[in-house]
Amino acid sequence: MRRARELFDLARAPRPSAETPAPARFLARFDAAILGHDSAERTRILPAKYKKVVIFSAEVWQTFLLDGFVAGRYRLSATKKEATLALEPFAPLRRADRNALIEEGAKLVRFYYPDTPRHEVRA
> How large a percentage of the chain has pLDDT more than 70?
91
Domain ranges of the chain: 25-122
Is pLDDT at 4 greater than 70 in this prediction? no
- Could you read off the pLDDT of 24-80 as tens digits, one per residue? 999 999 998 888 766 777 888 899 999 999 998 888 999 999 999 999 999 999 999
The H-or-E segment that residue 37 falls in is none
Q: Which residues contact 97 (CB under 8 A, 6 or more apart)?
A: 24, 66, 71
From CA 17, how far away is CA 20, in angstroms rounded? 6
Query: Which of helix, strand or coil describes residue 100?
Result: helix
Mean pLDDT estimate for the chain: 89
Q: Which pLDDT does position 58 carry in this prediction? A: 82
Closest C-alpha among 109, 118, 117, 123 to residue 26: 109
Q: Which pLDDT does position 3 carry in this prediction? A: 61
Q: Are 27 and 37 in contact (CB under 8 A)?
A: no
Q: Which pLDDT does position 109 carry in this prediction? A: 98
Strand-strand pairing, 55-56 and 25-27: unpaired
Q: Which pLDDT does position 16 carry in this prediction? A: 80
Q: Which pLDDT does position 6 carry in this prediction? A: 67
> How large a percentage of the chain has pLDDT more than 90?
64
